[in-house]
Structure 1
Amino acid sequence: MITSAPLTYGQLAIWRDVESVPKHRWHEPNLAQTWALPVGIGMPAVREAIAALVRRHESLRTTYDLTDPAALRQVAHPPQPPDVRVERTAEPQADLDAVREQCARKPFGLIREPAWRATIVAAADTPTHLVLAQHHIVADGAAMAILKRDFFAALAGTLDDAVTGPATIAAHEQSPAGRRRAAAALDYWAKLFTEIPSPIAQTPPYVEARLVSRALARAARRAAARLRVSVANVVLAAYCAGLFALVDDHRLAVRVLSSNRFDPYRRDVVTSMNQWISVPIDRPSGPDLAGLVREVVNRTRVAYAYAAYDVDRMFQLLDEAGQRRAQYDSTWSFNFIPRGPDEPETSLADVDAAGAQEQTVSWATPFSSVGPRCYLRVIDGADLTFELRVPVGWSAVAAEVLRRMHQALLDADRAG
């Protein structure tokens, strides 16, 4: 049976970010991942596991009705055997990046077919890896982890066909309780627009300042352990410290990306729930990062309670406040991507043994042109990888922000 529902707030937020992207960049919202398959697994088992994902996750059989821009809808279709491509190669490991890039760079037509694709990489007839790519509206980073978990459960024969999908979230959001929650979120935004200075609108093209540092991974983890907070909060505090060093304002707003998976009915749904939420941060009274960490923890805790909201209504509030969408997009933004649950833990001793040699800031083509104009993405791993995207004219500012963050994290480590 075909069913239809409004877009969730998370899906709508993604669509508003990408709806004006020109055709030659339609691939930019795509995400891709590669999974190594168990030795000895056969092609039929891999195909059946992918089919099990389609049965279980409504997003993998959803198209989108974009006819009315003010009333967008998602259309869920009955499960069908998925069309899975097989890429045979003599050297699967060597060719994985090329296959993944090919999968991710081909755009999706959201209206005509579900916006995902799978490719089995095989040596002759033996599957070795699965590459899965999807449009961001289908699955965010947390949802990709759910797909991986469920795929391997299906291979092991332990995944049931219980259906989950974003229509459940849409129903909650349209309920009386959901509407009250959305109204409270808009009240938060309306108050915020009166309390923080308006950012200066910046325009493309963009450049990315990049820094990879194992010493900063050590510093952030030690500071987080000492202060009993997450590494993400320590790094966000260092980001704010870097920004405060460059402005005279006593308060700034930093947009953080919320996963919005706090409610039990949301946690296992494969869809995109990510939404930006602005967090007002007050300038600390002293140079110690600990005070700024506490400010970040307290302010983000409040902000996350209002992080699921109707982005169209928020844009109306922007208009009423005399601000512009471009100004909103120019707010300094922050996204911390944590180490995956199946990635090996790197101990502080291992980090110390690697030495404290630092790479300098390098410059690259930005990871995407979609989303905020001033955007720091931090990827956690054995190293911390900082990717700060800014308009080209702000390259010196980006380098200085990273330098100030670097110093703040090292100082926080020494303070312990």
Structure 2
Amino acid sequence: MRPGGEFSIMSACPSHARRWRSQLSAVKSANLCWGHRYMWLRIHQLPPRHQPESHILLRFSIPPSLTVAHCRAMLTSLTRRHEALRTTFHADGGPRQRVHAPGPWPIVQASVERDGTPSPAEVVEDLTGRPFDLAAEWPIRACVITSGGAPKQVVVVFNHLAVDMWTLERIEQELWAQAQGIASRRPASLPPVRHQPADLARWEASAEAAALAAEALAYWEKQVALLPADPFATRRTPMPPQEARHATLTSPSLLDAGRRIATRHKVWPSAVHLAAHTALLAAYTGQGAVGQLAFAGNRGSHAYQDVLTCMFSPMLMRVDCSDDPPFSELVRRVAAESEQAARHAYVPYDEVVELVSREGSRRGVPVRLGSEVNFLNQRTLVYKGRRTTFTWNRAPEAWSHYGADTYMRIDEWRDAVVLALQAASSIMDAAAVEAFLRGHEALVLAHDDPSTDLRVSEVAALAGFTPPSASPYATGPATEVSPEAVGALVRAVSEVHGLGRVDPSDSYVLAGGRVLRAPEVLARLREHGWAGLTPRALAEPTPLATLAGLLAPVRPAEPLLPTHQKLGV
């Protein structure tokens, strides 16, 4: 044990963790905020060993003259001011967020000296490598790294349910203000905390918020109805569903070229790269309508934009490419669709999933919304290279559990653009992944010349794509489902939702199941000795009687008790 903190709250000193957790007492409770819901479902989609994929890491350099006690005081002040950092999240009966009283919490200390205790790297690996116990642990962990007894750096690990990038920037600013105040022996000037997540959750339950959500969901419904059921239908092959590839292309030339094109078309650089991605998707799939899930911060959607919590959510962009538009027109359409989608992004995402499930039931096939794409400014990162580099990364095992087809991340560094593509092997082989990334670079660089304006039909040749197949592959025969599995699933859905009768020929959503409570249904199944489903599978428009074929008997879990009984409070 290290003075002032334990190496592993969970394993190295379990008695300390139990004592701390037993002191947790909720002072208020609220529904999950709308911004929590996407991450809530995403985290529960992952097996526990992959849930650390959703952690966010912040490193903060400590100015000279500060002590370890100062660092602890700064971190304690942070959780005292912001309820999001002392909130637990509970599946039973909700789900709900519960805010706990402020107070001290376990903060680890690690020294760079070789003194027989775990090194800073080992401590940080432990803090980042364990999943958060959402119902019993605050969504923040921290380590103070010291040299000669003096603090040099604070490493903070957050659960994504509590923070987004906007929140992270404000937390870093607040820590810096506190550190500067201590160093100068002057009180830090911090802005007042006007609203907390529970305040936002109460507003989201109001009639005003319901009207906004209804309008936004109507937009989603209209857009989803115009999308193909499977955007990669002509490319999909019967590969194992959890095999995927991940590659990165870093290009210094793309940075200035993208900005020049953006200036010429009077749009943001993000629109240029999203247009390139759209053109490549249209060329690769042969689809006339391209759907993409981008992400919106949602900070300007209401009066609670200053709440420190996770508030982002996906936004659906549907871009028409059926008339073979030139790149200039595609840039204009993407910019317009992006603006329109952002205005309708602030919705309870679980209700979007239910909407898509009902559309799938109407069509008789599941509806896939399309590729995920994320554009980020990372001006603090530097490439320091002059040439384009292409790199294969480790297979994205955690990402593959989400069940998505592709995820394209576009980062603007200080001196380069970094394109990172994760793709399911069932829709892209290695050659296609590389062609997609190199094609993106080639397409943007070609349009740095104002006289170039390629149409979508010309992009496939530029990228080197092979022609798509004429028809999708056929699925195999249905497997036999045991009556016991069907009964267990129907009973779990009925118990969690208080439904008198559940028809196994209905899908989960048509039967009255709420997607937000899918993790609770899965926990109830586990309690009864069954496993094999995920929230995403449960939300599909598949009859419960068929879906039960994915279940397998397992050792029954402990009884599902209310969280306060588990904690003994």
TM-score scaled by length of structure 2: 0.66
Match of 2:411 in 1: 379
Q: 1:360 aligns with which of 364, 369, 390?
A: 390
Match of 2:53 in 1: 28
Q: Distance in 1 between matches of 2:346 and 2:301?
A: 11
- Is the 8 Å Cα contact of residues 330 and 374 (structure 1) preserved in structure 2? no
| Alignment pair present for 1:331 and 2:370 | yes
Instruction: Please report how far the alpha carbon of residue 392 of structure 1 lies from its aligned counterpart in structure 2 after TM superposition.
Output: 2.3
Match of 1:196 in 2: 227
Q: 2:261 aligns with which of 212, 223, 226?
A: 223
RMSD of aligned alpha carbons? 2.6
Instruction: Please report how far the alpha carbon of residue 49 of structure 1 lies from its aligned counterpart in structure 2 after TM superposition.
Output: 1.3
Q: Distance in 2 between matches of 1:361 and 1:410?
A: 20
Q: 1:88 aligns with which of 111, 114, 120?
A: 111
Q: After the TM superposition, which of the residue ranges 105-114 and 315-324 deviates more from structure 2?
A: 315-324
For the residue of structure 1 that corresponds to 2:339, the secondary structure is helix
Instruction: Please report how far the alpha carbon of residue 284 of structure 1 lies from its aligned counterpart in structure 2 after TM superposition.
Output: 7.9
Match of 1:125 in 2: 149
- Distance change in 2, residues 1:88/1:60 (3 Å): same
Structure with bigger gyration radius = 2
- Is the 8 Å Cα contact of residues 111 and 120 (structure 2) preserved in structure 1? no
Q: 2:64 aligns with which of 28, 33, 39?
A: 39
- Distance change in 2, residues 1:284/1:338 (3 Å): farther
Q: Distance in 1 between matches of 2:438 and 2:45?
A: 34
Q: 1:7 aligns with which of 32, 48, 63?
A: 32
Q: Distance in 2 between matches of 1:130 and 1:329?
A: 42
Q: 1:295 aligns with which of 314, 328, 333?
A: 333
- Is the 8 Å Cα contact of residues 250 and 419 (structure 2) preserved in structure 1? yes
Q: Distance in 2 between matches of 1:362 and 1:198?
A: 30
* Residue identity opposite 1:403 in structure 2: R
Instruction: Please report how far the alpha carbon of residue 179 of structure 1 lies from its aligned counterpart in structure 2 after TM superposition.
Output: 0.2
Unaligned runs of 5+ residues in structure 1 are none
Q: Distance in 2 between matches of 1:313 and 1:306?
A: 13
Instruction: Please report how far the alpha carbon of residue 389 of structure 1 lies from its aligned counterpart in structure 2 after TM superposition.
Output: 0.8
- Distance change in 2, residues 1:414/1:96 (3 Å): farther
* Residue identity opposite 1:28 in structure 2: E
For the residue of structure 2 that corresponds to 1:273, the secondary structure is coil
| Alignment pair present for 1:166 and 2:190 | no
| Alignment pair present for 1:72 and 2:102 | no
Q: Distance in 1 between matches of 2:206 and 2:348?
A: 14
- Distance change in 2, residues 1:39/1:360 (3 Å): same
For the residue of structure 2 that corresponds to 1:281, the secondary structure is strand
Unaligned runs of 5+ residues in structure 2 are 1-25, 182-187, 452-569
Cα deviation code 1:231-275 (max 9, x no counterpart):
212111111121122132222111101111124634332211121
Cα deviation code 1:144-202 (max 9, x no counterpart):
11111111122221225636422122122111110001111111111112111112587
- Is the 8 Å Cα contact of residues 280 and 436 (structure 2) preserved in structure 1? yes
Match of 2:435 in 1: 400
Q: 1:185 aligns with which of 216, 220, 224?
A: 216
Where do 1:343-354 residues align within 5 Å? 343=380
Cα deviation code 1:338-396 (max 9, x no counterpart):
125xx38x8xxxx9x964x2113534332841643311112221221111111124133
Instruction: Please report how far the alpha carbon of residue 110 of structure 1 lies from its aligned counterpart in structure 2 after TM superposition.
Output: 0.8
Q: Distance in 1 between matches of 2:282 and 2:147?
A: 54
Q: Distance in 2 between matches of 1:34 and 1:180?
A: 41
- Is the 8 Å Cα contact of residues 46 and 398 (structure 2) preserved in structure 1? no
- Distance change in 2, residues 1:21/1:216 (3 Å): same
Q: Distance in 1 between matches of 2:333 and 2:321?
A: 9
TM-score scaled by length of structure 1: 0.88
For the residue of structure 2 that corresponds to 1:360, the secondary structure is strand
Where do 1:303-314 residues align within 5 Å? 303-314=341-352
Q: Distance in 1 between matches of 2:56 and 2:432?
A: 29
Match of 2:3 in 1: none
Cα deviation code 1:265-321 (max 9, x no counterpart):
343322111211211112286775332111111111111111111222222222221
Q: Distance in 2 between matches of 1:241 and 1:185?
A: 26
Q: Distance in 1 between matches of 2:120 and 2:253?
A: 30
- Distance change in 2, residues 1:363/1:45 (3 Å): closer
Instruction: Please report how far the alpha carbon of residue 403 of structure 1 lies from its aligned counterpart in structure 2 after TM superposition.
Output: 2.3
Q: Which has the higher contact order (CA 8 A, sep 6+)?
A: 1
- Distance change in 2, residues 1:190/1:263 (3 Å): closer
Instruction: Please report how far the alpha carbon of residue 96 of structure 1 lies from its aligned counterpart in structure 2 after TM superposition.
Output: 6.6
- Distance change in 2, residues 1:229/1:7 (3 Å): same
- Distance change in 2, residues 1:287/1:178 (3 Å): closer
Q: After the TM superposition, which of the residue ranges 172-181 and 315-324 deviates more from structure 2?
A: 315-324
For the residue of structure 2 that corresponds to 1:290, the secondary structure is helix
* Residue identity opposite 1:130 in structure 2: V
Q: How many residues align?
A: 401
Q: Distance in 2 between matches of 1:330 and 1:300?
A: 15
For the residue of structure 1 that corresponds to 2:447, the secondary structure is helix
Match of 1:148 in 2: 172
- Distance change in 2, residues 1:303/1:258 (3 Å): same
- Distance change in 2, residues 1:229/1:37 (3 Å): farther
- Distance change in 2, residues 1:329/1:288 (3 Å): closer
- Is the 8 Å Cα contact of residues 64 and 74 (structure 1) preserved in structure 2? yes
Identity %, equivalent residues:
24
- Is the 8 Å Cα contact of residues 32 and 134 (structure 1) preserved in structure 2? yes
- Is the 8 Å Cα contact of residues 50 and 398 (structure 2) preserved in structure 1? no
Cα deviation code 1:199-242 (max 9, x no counterpart):
25873222112111111122212222333322212111111121
* Residue identity opposite 1:376 in structure 2: M
| Alignment pair present for 1:139 and 2:163 | yes
- Is the 8 Å Cα contact of residues 359 and 367 (structure 2) preserved in structure 1? no
- Is the 8 Å Cα contact of residues 204 and 373 (structure 1) preserved in structure 2? no
